[in-house]
Amino acid sequence: MTERRTDHLTRKRVAEMSPEEMKRALLVSEKTDLPNRRSFDEGESSPWIAMSDVNGLKAVNDEFGYSAGDILIRRFAEVLVSVGLDAYHDKGDEFLCKGNTYQDLNNKLRQAQQILSQRSFPVVSVDNRITIIPGADFCFGIGTDLKEAEVSLKRQKELQKASR
């Protein structure tokens, strides 16, 4: 019988991790330094949940490269934390937030939208030129569980497309 676990370098690195390093590797997003989806799922429940994602990430990646998109994702994570949100990096450009009230989540996410849209940031484009991106936007949906938040997010995206 052949060994299914063939990535010996990763296995060795994991075996050598301290408990703190192991916990970080399991519960923190490498890209954003926010708690990850597993941390969200295993953490305390919340009466309200928000789901959000960055608008136009594909266009940023296509025009400036994936490193620019990664900068945008990190910037978004920083803004979510700066307004006091209990934020988690789900995957890609998707983030989750927990809150005690709908109003509190809504207010903080709207504040984050305003900050992100007004804060420019430099990126190095694929041709090694420094370009300033004037800001970014994101959509969000809020619900009492992930399913409701996802439906609300989809509705917000549709409304935004219709208003263009």
Per-residue pLDDT reduced to its tens digit, 94-114 = 999 999 999 999 999 999 999
Secondary structure class of 29 (helix, strand, coil): coil
Could you tell me the end-to-end alpha-carbon distance of the chain, in angstroms, rounded to an integer? 59
pLDDT of residue 104: 97
Give Cα 96 distance to the centre of its chain.
7
pLDDT of residue 2: 46
Judged against a pLDDT cut of 60, whether residue 3 lies above it is answered with: no
- The rounded distance, in Å, linking the Cα atoms of 106 and 47 is 13
Judged against a pLDDT cut of 50, whether residue 137 lies above it is answered with: yes
pLDDT of residue 22: 59
Q: Of the candidates 140, 27, 141, which has an alpha carbon nearest to the alpha carbon of residue 88?
A: 27
Where are the domains positioned within the chain? Answer: 32-162
Task: Express as a percent the part of the chain with pLDDT over 70.
Answer: 85
For 146-157, what is each residue's pLDDT tens digit?
Answer: 999 999 999 999
pLDDT of residue 27: 78
Q: C-alpha angle with apex 87: 81 to 90, nearest 5 degrees?
A: 130
Between the CA atoms of 43, 19, 91 and 99, what dihedral angle is there, to the nearest 10 degrees? Answer: 20
* pTM greater than the 0.75 cutoff: yes
Q: Of the candidates 135, 38, 123, 126, which has an alpha carbon nearest to the alpha carbon of residue 89?
A: 38
Q: Of the candidates 77, 52, 47, which has an alpha carbon nearest to the alpha carbon of residue 141?
A: 52
Give Cα 86 distance to the centre of its chain.
12
**CATH homologous superfamily of domain 32-162?**
Reverse transcriptase/Diguanylate cyclase domain (3.30.70.270)
pLDDT of residue 99: 97
- The rounded distance, in Å, linking the Cα atoms of 94 and 53 is 4
For 66-97, what is each residue's pLDDT tens digit?
Answer: 989 999 999 999 999 999 999 999 999 999 99
Q: Which range (5-19, 65-79, 117-131) has the least confidence?
A: 5-19
